[in-house]
Amino acid sequence: MKKTSLCIHGGAGVITRGSLSPELEKEYRRGLEDAMTCGLKILSSGGNAIDAVEAAVVSLEDNPLFNAGKGSVLTHEGVCEMDAALMDGSTGKAGSVAGVTTIKNPVRLARLVMERSAHVMLAGKGAEEFARTNGAEEMPADYFLTELRKQQWEKMKNSDSVSLDHDGNKKFGTVGAVALDTNGNLAAATSTGGMTNKRWGRIGDSPVIGAGTFADHVVAISCTGHGEFFIRHVVAHEISALMRMRNMTLADAAGLLVDTVLKNAGGEGGLIAVDHDGNIALPFNTPGMYRAWTDASGNIRTGVYRES
């Protein structure tokens, strides 16, 4: 039986020791562990990678600590606009949604786009109309709001600036998962609420296939960071291309994109990736990234800071 792998992230940024209370750090780690457990339960029973990444991301979307689903940041207008994407490496099929405001789990809607439409990306009201037609669960606006997000928005709503940070800690609040199943299939999923105080329907890299989310027969990648830079450099697909065309290892390809290409361009963030042999990479060029993976013994490991 082929080995399985799963890793997840909950955002990268200026997350340093002292920026989180011990109690809050424990809550973040517990949230990561819960999401891993959801995905690993599927993989350990012989389930598909696509089901595993969806389940892991749904868990993170339902956790108000993370900027995806419930707990998403607010736009300039004071609403949550959420993006998500999902890609099946075994088929090359993908689905994504952008700017949805009523969908409880945007990653589930992205999967419906992949499986029940002839399209890859749907946005805004059209995506929500598609959701209703296909039975996706919707929630009222106050379901998504948390007191922390309201406070962040209050500080910025009268300005023209946008923020990728949480109370000055500069945390990029995307969530994602990548997996390899027992059949050797790879999959990736990403979900986000985007930027605090964003305007004009701004969309980042998360729902853009090849930029923030990508999976093929070689590697699966989910990114987190300053989305404009990940889009410009097509980061997720570029890693696959380097592995396929230049025979680079996952560690070398992912490291090159995060530590050299993005950094030289001024882009901050990180990513998680797994290749067809089950190797994982979790590089980031910020002080911290919420992340979780399984070690060689199958135990769940979590990391927050650069030194874990």
Quote the tokens at residue 114.
Answer: 């992949």
- For residue 77, the surrounding DSSP H or E stretch is none
Give ∠ CA 23-224-219 in degrees, rounded to 5.
120
Other C-beta atoms lying within 10 Å of the C-beta of residue 229: 21
Q: Which amino acid is at 154?
A: E
Q: What is the CA radius of gyration of the chain?
A: 17
Rounded alpha-carbon distances, angstroms, from residue 162 to 33, 146, 299: 31, 19, 39
Measured from the Cβ of residue 274, the count of other Cβ atoms closer than 10 Å reads 30
124 vs 55: CA distance, rounded Å: 24
DSSP string, 219-268: EEEEEEE-HHHHHHTTHHHHHHHHHHHS---HHHHHHIIIIIIIHHHT--
Picking from 194, 220, 229, the residue whose alpha carbon sits closest to that of residue 98 is 194
Distance between CA 67 and CA 57 in Å, rounded?
12
Contact between 166 and 139 (Cβ < 8 Å): no
Length of the chain: 308
Active site residues: 174
Provide the 8-state DSSP code for 118: S
